[in-house]
Amino acid sequence: MFGKQDVASIDVAALYAIADSLPDEALGYFDYTFSDEKQPLGERIATIANVARVDGNNIGDVLTFWRDEKVTNPDAVFARSNMFWDEYKVAWQMSLPGGYDGVALDYVDPLTNKKAYIYLQIDSSGITEVEDATVNAMQISLDGCRNSTQATDRAWLEARKILYSRLTMTVKVLDSTQVVRGTVVQCPDMYDNAQQTGYITGRSGDVFSDVRAYRLSLGDMWVVMTDNIGNYRGRWRPIR
């Protein structure tokens, strides 16, 4: 099947960048036969992309792509200077979303050409792989997947989403802050006055003066800085 769209209407560079960034080339592998010859090309691309945890956005006349994954640096930073305090909300659910207690994902084993399954359990100790589906597992059929590496990677992604989506944050920012679906953003907890607030009052080389003293926690910590209108300027590791 051949598409009739101009190749310029697809962000090919983004696809290559995603492929080059994969820690295991098996995560970008696809070997599947579409049985319906009338299935539109767009649906086929969506199936292929979904197996690799990739989704797309139409920005203007160009279809661009992004992968659902952790990133080193956010695409945008929302700071107190471009957030509305009265629209800020943080919510925490005691139970897991949807009442799910695990994930049951099926894919096709290329050796047997039959369905294979991955079962994960979510409880107070975290996420663990188990032999059978939990009582109320989220059911996922990864159509087009014939790769255990991809299937396992996706199952753990969905389990982490269930576990961590108990905490939600709602923010309203100025119109000048442009983000699209799939963009990874960073923003402060406006209720936290111990570490996530403050304004720079001066600088001498790499030493910054602030209106307050921060209590640094153990572990890997970074200070994210924005300008006076909220534009991201970089991040630095603080020294105790």
Checking if the pLDDT of 186 tops 70, the result is yes
Domains of the chain: which residue ranges? 7-67, 76-82+175-236, 97-164
Confidence label for 150 from pLDDT (cuts 50, 70 and 90): very high
Higher-confidence residue of 103 and 38: namely 103
pLDDT at 217: 72
pTM of the model: 0.81
Pick from 57-71, 107-121, 161-175, 203-217: least confident = 203-217
Q: Which helix (H) or strand (E) segment is 15 a member of? A: helix 12-21
Q: Tell me how far apart the alpha carbons of residues 188 and 171 are, in angstroms, rounded to a whole number.
A: 10
pLDDT at 164: 92
Q: Taking a C-beta distance cutoff of 8 angstroms, is the pair 147, 29 a contact?
A: yes
**Average pLDDT of the segment spanning 61-88:** 86
pLDDT at 223: 80
Checking if the pLDDT of 1 tops 60, the result is no
CB atoms within 10 A of CB 51: 22
Q: Taking a C-beta distance cutoff of 8 angstroms, is the pair 208, 202 a contact?
A: yes
Checking if the pLDDT of 33 tops 60, the result is yes
**Average pLDDT of the segment spanning 107-111:** 94
**Mean pLDDT rounded to a whole number for the chain:** 86
Q: Which amino acid is at 184?
A: V
pLDDT at 133: 97
* Both structure tokens of 120: 């994960």
Q: Are strands 223-226 and 232-236 parallel, antiparallel or unpaired?
A: antiparallel
pLDDT in tens, 84-102: 888 899 998 889 989 999 9
Q: How many residues does the chain have?
A: 240
Please identify which residue in the block is written with the tokens 């659910």: 93
Query: At 90, is the secondary structure helix, strand, or coil?
Result: strand
pLDDT at 69: 92
Higher-confidence residue of 50 and 198: namely 50
pLDDT at 176: 64
pLDDT at 177: 65
